Chains A and B, each alone.
Chain A
Amino acid sequence: MVMLTQITQRVTAWAVLAGFGTTCLAATPADYSWTTFGSQSVAAVGWSSADIGSFLAFASHADDTITIGDFRFVDLLGDGNIELVASADYSGRSLFNDLVIVHRSGGLFGMQHIGTPSLESLNGVISDINNDGKKEILVPTGLTPYVNGTVPVATWTAIYSWNGSLFQENTSSFSTYYATTVLSPLQAALKTANGTGNAEKIALAQIELDKATRVSIGPGTTGMSTAQALVASTDPVLRIWAASVLGDIGTADALTTLATLTQDADSSVALYAKSAQQQASWAHCDRVQIAVRNGGPEHLVDLHSRDPIVIAIYLDARRSQAIDRKSVTFGESGFEPSLLFCERNDQSLECRFGGALSGLTVSDAVATLHGKRKDQTCFVGQAGVQVVDGPQGRWQDRH
């Protein structure tokens, strides 16, 4: 019965397309309503993973194949609008290192990408854990690096919640959830690992428990003693893991110990330690509020426009004076040297960036800004955007 319904809907979609005289070869999610009400809802169609991969590739103008591990059409915000959540792979090897959240606004599709080591299934990823009617996204996030195919990656569950314009990592606000739901299984996992006597399994379980403790009930230095012990290990994998933990803790003591690993006799350990050191320099920045001033309420950024992208950085006057303006970068990753100039106004520091230099591409839904103050402390901000490639950028016009 379900199958019949799905088939009927697909046939209906073809009929609709034919009626419009379009040249489309097949219906895509763009041809359906992304709302929970009415007929022709995108969520009621039996899409295949290949359908979703093709849709994402087309919507983002991707030049490579996107493989989908799992996907859901779900009303994340409880507002009657449906979002698409998908685990995607860009490697061609089914590594599924990207979680994509697609929001439709009229004819536009905005995609937020969240990195993950490997997320083939979305089971347990989408949940309204604080019962506010808006769903959170629980993303397994890598703490240790990919050392090789046989070595596990230590992960922790980052919780992303809706902040009004994008899903932002906000795990520390869910300490109760962590204390009641996350920590206990990790403690049990550590107990099990201890029973194996396997040093790598024990270290992995301890690292994951320590990280979960740091992001929830604290203190933020939890795991320091474990990391210091791992530094002395003869197993290079454990020293690589130690480097990641030390960089994540990020205190002066931790960074001092991490510096010793950058000189490790094993070149692989040194390489990973240097990477951890560099990541640590931006991992503990203050969060600042930023806003895109372009494009009205949708924050449209037109890549073909000569107009700069205007970003307001909300800092008080004293703190904005201390900013090293040349350090400010903005764009898709947040490290793009796209700054044109900044100027102070009444309520914020307003900076202008070159759209073509920002690395933003069609359908990007999030832009990131990084900067440093004159005392070398850093700050980071994220804002929701809607990137289009000119007035023809809307989906239905290209389709």
Chain B
Amino acid sequence: MTRMVRVLVVIACALYAAGACATNQYCLSCSSSPTDWFPTQNAGYATVAARFAACGGSFTVDGAGGPSQWAPGTIATYQGFWYNPPRATHGNDCDYQTWWAVYHVVCQDGFQWDDTAHRCTAPLLVIVRPTDQSSFSLSAANSTATPLVPFQADPGAANTATSINWALQLEYQTSGGRGAHTEPYSFTTLGTGTNQQTYASTGGKLTVRASAVIDGIRQNAGPNVAYIVGVSIPNGSITDRLVLLYAGGATPRLLTGIAMMESTYRQFTVSTLYNYSGLWPLESYDGGSHVGLMMMPVSTGHAWDWLANTQDAETLFEQKLAIARSRETQIIAMHPGLPPLSDTDRERMALLLYGPGASGSLSKQYFASTRDNDGNWSWIRNSLGNPVGVTYADSVLSLIQ
């Protein structure tokens, strides 16, 4: 009975990128004898493990008896195992029938396994830009858009007329998995031509793939991963924006207090997302149910566009002002003689309705009614009826810039 022992050797083929080994694209020949594992390029190394270690690479081994039976560095012990698989089931696994092992060579950095030459070879199609792990900031259009991001591939000098298909995917979600958004996009370039894209009011992890048919064979490149991240917005710009938005209000600088209260004036902050440290949208403590300057509910716009974040907050505050007027009218109707609130006092009512103490109850507004000894009604700060809301409003007012 045939002893069926499958040995899978996974080799991280990082040779070409490792200094002195950069020109050596020869990973490992699939051959019939252990001695053939050390052809000319590998001379001087006792084992395959040593060869790869010297080049900054590594490999793992899984034998029939498990890794402990055939561990890295004990190559010689593989003798006695053999395998004769149907080729169709292994494709590029380099599963030659002549000897006892099946090697699965994994080429890295875009290199591809050449099943004829038995080695990793430079890819025919390479993404030139964006480079892997690059980043682009929202430094244009008042800190809401990236400069032009170039997409360029190299199909080789002989293929300048080749059409390159690009598949992009921009994804973002907060650290707590909130506000998940995925945005696929595709386009075509020709040869080494460049396509330029601008990312506005969005950001996140950008995965870039390219493909082309070269010499009748589909070649894939990438993925290269790039990051669209935020920028540090100057405090002066934030203040100007917030004052402009609420210019007609009784306290034109009121929104600066909200921004300071909610985010300490930060739309973005240095943090790590997708294993990348950069300026990501500021998240609420619960994993990002709210984001940005005004701590608005998470969405792509609120996370990446500080103008949208502040605009929507101002719109909401105006709605709260209208509700505050309505509540004021209702309370006055119940307490004859109670005077109207001033515009600034009405803003306090609206602030409570914008914050964590928002309530539909007339007894839980910023102001409540009180009666003096003569039976006259007046307004009183409602710190007992709604301490959470009143403290929030007072804090905002104390933080106006």
Contact = CB atoms under 8 A, between A and B. Distances in A.
Nearest to B286: A118
A141 B202 CA distance: 35
B282 A150 contact: yes
Contacts of A117: 356
A381 interface: no
Contacts of B286: 118, 152
A151 B316 contact: no
A241 B188 CA distance: 57
A271 B323 contact: no
A30 interface: no
A275 B390 contact: yes
A217 interface: no
A160 interface: no
Contacts of A14: none
B285 A151 contact: yes
B388 interface: yes
Contact-size category for B: 35 or more
B392 interface: yes
Given A97-B357, A275-B390, A279-B387, A332 B334 contact: no
Contacts of B362: 332, 359, 361
Contact of A271 (B296, B334, B391): B391
B361 A93 contact: no
A64 B323 contact: yes
Interface in B219-256: none
A149 B264 CA distance: 9
Contact-size category for A: 35 or more
A331 B382 CA distance: 14
B216 interface: no
Contacts of A271: 391, 394-395, 398
A149 B285 contact: yes
B75 to A, nearest CB: 42
A268 B362 CA distance: 27
B355 A91 contact: yes
A127 interface: no
Contacts of B262: 148-149
A333 B363 contact: yes
A28 interface: no
Q: Which of A64, A117, A279, A282 has the most chain B CB atoms inside 10 A of its CB?
A: A64
A267 B392 contact: no
Contacts of A94: 289-290, 297
Nearest to A267: B398
B212 interface: no
Interface in A75-98: 89-95, 97-98
A268 B263 CA distance: 15
A337 interface: yes
Given A150-B263, A271-B394, A335 B385 contact: yes
A278 B297 contact: no
B61 interface: no
A202 to B, nearest CB: 15
B391 to A, nearest CB: 4
Nearest to B298: A94
Interface in B345-396: 353-364, 368-371, 382-388, 390-392, 394-395
A314 B280 CA distance: 58
A331 B370 CA distance: 13
Given A64-B323, A271-B398, A332 B388 contact: no
B118 interface: no
B119 interface: no
B30 interface: no
Contacts of B363: 331-333, 335-336, 359
B155 to A, nearest CB: 47
B334 A90 contact: no
B359 A90 contact: yes
A103 interface: no
A126 interface: no
Contact of B358 (A91, A148, A282, A336): A91
A337 B370 contact: yes
Contacts of A359: 361-363, 368
B133 interface: no
A236 to B, nearest CB: 12
B283 interface: yes
B391 A90 contact: no
A341 interface: no
Contact of B359 (A98, A153, A272): A98
A261 B355 CA distance: 24
A250 interface: no
B354 A272 contact: no
Contacts of A275: 383, 387, 390-391
Contact of A120 (B289, B323, B326, B398): B289
Contacts of A356: 334
Q: Which of B261, B296, B364, B382 has the most chain A CB atoms inside 10 A of its CB?
A: B364
Contacts of A335: 363, 368, 382, 384-385
Contacts of B335: 357
Contact of B364 (A62, A150, A267, A333): A333
A66 interface: yes
Contacts of B369: 336-337, 357
A63 interface: yes
B359 A150 contact: no
Interface string B151-195: 000000000000000000000000000000000000000000000
Contacts of A282: 384
A271 B283 CA distance: 25
B364 A64 contact: no
B354 A93 contact: yes
Interface string A117-155: 110100000000000000000000010011011111100
A113 interface: yes
B395 A332 contact: no
Contact of A146 (B323, B382, B385, B392): B392
Nearest to A337: B371
11 contacts: A64-B353, A120-B289, A149-B295, A150-B282, A271-B391, A271-B395, A271-B398, A272-B391, A333-B368, A337-B371, A359-B363
Given A62-B360, A359-B363, 17 more contacts: A64-B323, A90-B360, A91-B353, A92-B320, A93-B297, A93-B316, A113-B359, A153-B285, A268-B395, A271-B394, A275-B383, A278-B383, A279-B387, A331-B363, A332-B364, A333-B382, A337-B371
Nearest 5 pairs of A and B residues by beta carbon:
A359-B363, A149-B295, A91-B358, A333-B385, A332-B363
Interface of A: 60, 62-64, 66, 89-95, 97-98, 113, 115, 117-118, 120, 142, 145-146, 148-153, 267-268, 271-272, 275, 278-279, 282, 331-337, 356-357, 359, 361, 364
